[in-house]
Amino acid sequence: MPFEPAKSSRDELVLLLAPTGRDGPLARSVLHDRGGIESFPCRNVEELCQNVNAGAGAILVAEETLHAKSTRRLVDCLGSQLPWSDLPVIVLASTADTTAPPPRVADSLAALRQRGNVTVLDRPLRIVTLLTSVQSALRARRRQYQVRDLLAETRNAVKQRDQFLAMLGHELRNPLGAISNALTVIDAAGANDAEIQAEQHGIIRRQTNHLGRLVDDLLDVSRITSGKIALQRQPIDLCDLARHAAQSVEASARTQRHELIVEVCRDPVVIDADPVRIEQVINNLLTNAIKYTPPCGHIRMSVEPADGEAIIRVNDDGIGIPPELIGRVFDLFTQAERALDRAQGGLGIGLTLVRSLVEMHDGTVEVHSDGPGQGSEFVITLPRAKAAPPSKPQRSHDDQPTLRHSNNGHGRRILVIEDQPDARRALQRLLQIWGYQVEVAEDGPGGVEAAAKTNPDVAFVDVGLPGLDGYEVARRIRATMGDRVRLIALTGYGQPEDRDRAHAAGFDLHLVKPVDRDELAKSVSDSR
């Protein structure tokens, strides 16, 4: 039967196969007393192989045990090791002339050397030789364990990646499916049914915004893990910020027929924080509560001061959290392992962002739940700032006044340089509806040529152009036209270094796709 030592010592257990004579007891005594090495004497090769399969650091075998049958069994055992394993085997030889051992032993050693990492020691041998040989074997074994652990980490990382990609595909197909269906409905209904047209346009707009948020969350996780997010701290009233965050999710709550209750103090609760990031934290928690609470549920958010701290609580009477997930809900991609999340949606990154952003503000976040079906409560604690006039929280796009567009281009010339046909045509058509004269080009060299011919007031330039990239296009247009043209970069790259590179190339503005229509209109109107 396999020996069962302490779990921590199994990996460094030395297995002894010397059932006759004094080699076994003497070796065990020396290893334990002089080297602190744990060993286990095996009665036969079968017991030895059982223990090898259970885990071992090295094997010490007396030459007398290596007859044909036992050697075949041991060779098979060594051959069945995992790819990372090369278990050290030390053979105690009976002859001083290891270059010419008896034929039986020579055949056994040759077979073992083909399958294993074999060292032969002559008897009689010095104690120090035995100790150093075993210690060297165990050092080599530890290196193998490092490879084993690295392979396990790699396998786990690949598994997490595959789970995440599967969930990402699921999350992207949902809004894309809704958009596709909405377009089909619009085509089938015709232009005369204004109600259906408005309804389906709303679906397309909401799902497009959802896709944008998915991409933003992915990029935010990447920026945080690489240390590329810099907080823009200022004194803010957490109560005002919480009210605004609640307003941004009211429509989602109404869709699910939830009751959203907001309880904040009358007096300001001032914190020194980045208003955009703290609003993102609160929004993520509220969105999470809405998503995982069945229809007609109750969601409550409160803000209160306590002993120099500001506390935000978000609780719901939703599906709750199983006890085994409580300690892992903030880990990256944890949600992707939960079957229910495939129905509810989510990439498993929202709560990771919450924890990271709160910790960047020197705060803490905790979660409590009594189990499935018992709802959840998230508690954020942030340090309060010293008394100071709070500034108003920054407003999101949803809170900005909507710009009205009614053929206000007044003949101004715009050049669109975009290689993707649908994106190029859609932007051209929208700008024409707003009253602008629009020319287009589909690659970098064509864009530079078109700019020289049309002398545009504004040029929208995609960064990833064929022929010449958008940065080189901007440099060439700027070199010939100077400040007479407003250059606006359109790109899917939204990292801070991407914005810096755009400005260095001569762009006046850097817009990340998909561009909000009001932001797009403002980018043109500001150029007047």
Confidence at 107, pLDDT banded by 50, 70, 90: confident
Interior CA angle at 77 toward 71 and 83, to 5°? 135
Residue 411 · residue 432 · CB < 8 Å: no
pLDDT value at residue 401: 38
Across the range 370-397, mean pLDDT stands at 76
515, exposed or middle or buried, with CB in 10 Å at 0-12, 13-18, 19+?
middle
Q: What is the DSSP letter of 493?
A: -
Confidence at 400, pLDDT banded by 50, 70, 90: very low
CATH placement of domain 7-150: 3.40.50.2300
The fourth-level CATH superfamily of domain 237-394 is: Histidine kinase-like ATPase, C-terminal domain (3.30.565.10)
pLDDT value at residue 387: 60
Angle, helix 275-291 to helix 238-255, in steps of 10 degrees: 30
The answer to whether domain 7-150 and domain 237-394 are alike in fold is no
Nearest 5°: phi and psi at 482? 65, -140
Domain ranges of the chain: 7-150, 153-225, 237-394, 413-525
- How many residues are listed for the chain in this entry? 528
Pick the CATH number of 413-525 from 3.40.50.2300, 3.40.50.1970, 3.30.420.40, 1.20.59.10: 3.40.50.2300
The per-residue b/e assignment along 377-397, b for 16 or more CB within 10 angstroms, e otherwise, is ebebbbebbeeeebeebeeee
**Least confidently predicted of 146-150, 319-323, 408-412:** 408-412
The yes-or-no verdict on residue 353 having pLDDT over 90 is: no
pLDDT digits (tens, 9 = 90+) for 417-469: 998 888 888 889 889 988 999 999 999 999 999 999 999 999 999 998 989 99
CA distances from 246 to 18, 254, 303, 325, 383 (A): 75, 12, 12, 27, 22
Q: Report the C-alpha dihedral over residues 460, 462, 463, 467, rounded to 10 degrees.
A: -110
pLDDT value at residue 162: 75
pLDDT value at residue 23: 78
Alpha-carbon gap, residue 253 to 506, rounded angstroms: 44
Task: Specify whether domain 153-225 bears CATH 3.30.1180.10.
Answer: no
pLDDT digits (tens, 9 = 90+) for 234-291: 999 999 999 998 988 888 888 889 999 999 988 899 999 999 889 989 988 998 899 8
The yes-or-no verdict on residue 527 having pLDDT over 60 is: no
